[in-house]
Amino acid sequence: MGTVEVLRDGAVLVDGGRIKAVGSYAELRDAHAGAVVEEVRGVLFPGLVDCHTHAVFGSPRLDDHERRALGEDYKTIAARGGGILQSVREVRARSEGELLALTRARVQTLLAHGSTTIEVKSGYGLDPATELKQLRVIRAAAETARAALVPTFLGAHEVSPEFRDRRVDYVRLLCDEMIPTVARERLAVACDVFCEPGVFDVAESRAILAAAQRYGLAPKLHADELEGSGGAELAAALGALSADHLAAISDAGIHALAGSNTVAVLLPATMVFLGRRRQAPARRLVEAGAAVALATDFNPGSSPTVSLPLVMVLGVSQLGLSHAEVVSAVTVNAAAALGLAGDRGQIAPGFRADLMSCGVADWREVAYWMGENLVTAVWTGGSACPLPTAPVSLGLHVET
């Protein structure tokens, strides 16, 4: 993870949407005289993989942001009508067309920041109709997007408000109705649960993800984000694709992930945006032998950023990772967190020709300049993507 190979004056030969050869420009030019040449200035990276987003939502949650800054805690904000359930009310009320237009704009902006594969979760519906609506929005957005979208069912993002006093029935609804329908309609490839004290406990999370596995959905877990409850251990035991957040992971959790193929997905922008001092123990995870990935967690409550390069900067300065490690974390390892490590995330023969270039002289600058979008061009499946020329609106503020 700490080693990246850097070629100078390199070239990438692309054929049929895949990388066919990588080598020196002079050699490849001689061997393939008829090939069309696209000159790239700066540094060419594998297209970035954002393996954790909640991009289907309505408005930003500006009041939450300010109340938190003024000292209100999560529970008080939720009690006053903010938090995840505010986004749930809005997503329920908005039409599929509106959500699709918003999602398309966000995906375009994620792509413009270098992300060529983007995982997108549902989880602001919490009832069968709205969860399916969100997943249909992801499918429709994927049909026109130049980035590849990977849909994850997150019906277990919070206990549905209608089931507050009978949470057992909501878990049953998830396992017996929602997961089977999502799988039958092929609306998601993975299933995620917010496993945290006060949300879903370990036993409930295990039951939901076991049901998901029976229906062919790969398990993922929001694990040990705030207080920690053994979510990482559960993810490893289930053979989950990833355990995400992990700011409160235990020593046993680190050990469990290190001994598994489950990727530790760290989300440093979330902890920064929430104003928390504690970050996930990235160095200890790496040194124990866990595979560490980084993602934006793009969502309106805890991480309103579309920039994986910004997250890479935070990976270095907040998590103590090296420049090479953060590059691996948003390419190879992020692809592994989606079960796609053999297909994308590397500039190597056989891989999908997803690439992005940055206008920098040294590759390490991508994880250095904080907040500037340095991406100059993006290619998916070997062809150049049109990028927005003016800033795209990421949300709209409405009364709910």
Footprint of ligand NIG (CB under 6 A): 54, 84, 87, 194, 222, 225, 270, 297, 299-303
Task: Indicate the residue among 47 and 83 with the shorter CB distance to ligand NIG.
Answer: 83
Residue 347 CB, nearest approach to ligand NIG (Å): 30
Report the partner that residue 194 touches, choosing among Fe ion, ligand NIG, none (CB closer than 5 to 8 A by kind).
ligand NIG
Interacting residues with Fe ion (CB under 5 A):
297
- What does the alpha-carbon distance between residue 23 and residue 151 come to, in Å, rounded to a whole number? 35
Yes or no: say if 270 and 245 are a contact pair by the CB < 8 Å rule: yes
Task: Indicate the residue among 170 and 194 with the shorter CB distance to ligand NIG.
Answer: 194
Tell me which residue of 249, 245, 240, 251 sits closest to 269, measured CA to CA.
245
Report the partner that residue 206 touches, choosing among ligand NIG, Fe ion, none (CB closer than 5 to 8 A by kind).
none
Q: Would you give the distance in Å from CA 241 to the centre of its chain? A: 13
Residue 208 CB, nearest approach to ligand NIG (Å): 15
Positive or negative CA dihedral for 29, 31, 36, 41? negative
User: What is the Cα Rg of the chain in Å?
Assistant: 21
Yes or no: say if 345 and 19 are a contact pair by the CB < 8 Å rule: no
Reduced to 3 states, what is the DSSP secondary structure of residue 59? coil
Residue 141 CB, nearest approach to ligand NIG (Å): 19
Report the partner that residue 280 touches, choosing among ligand NIG, Fe ion, none (CB closer than 5 to 8 A by kind).
none
Residue 57 CB, nearest approach to ligand NIG (Å): 7
Report the partner that residue 192 touches, choosing among ligand NIG, Fe ion, none (CB closer than 5 to 8 A by kind).
none
Residue 296 CB, nearest approach to Fe ion (Å): 9
Report the partner that residue 270 touches, choosing among Fe ion, ligand NIG, none (CB closer than 5 to 8 A by kind).
ligand NIG
| Bridge partners of residue 242, in order along the sequence | 220, 263
For ligand NIG, the nearest residue by Cβ is 301
As a whole number of angstroms, the longest Cα–Cα distance in the chain is 71
Q: What does the block give as tokens for 374?
A: 């340095």
Instruction: Give the angle subtended at the CA of 273 by the CAs of 104 and 400, to the nearest 5°.
Output: 55
Label residues 204-222 b or e (16+ Cβ within 10 Å = b). bbbbbbebbbebebbbbbb
Report the partner that residue 300 touches, choosing among Fe ion, ligand NIG, none (CB closer than 5 to 8 A by kind).
ligand NIG
Residue 297 CB, nearest approach to ligand NIG (Å): 5
Task: Indicate the residue among 100 and 199 with the shorter CB distance to Fe ion.
Answer: 199
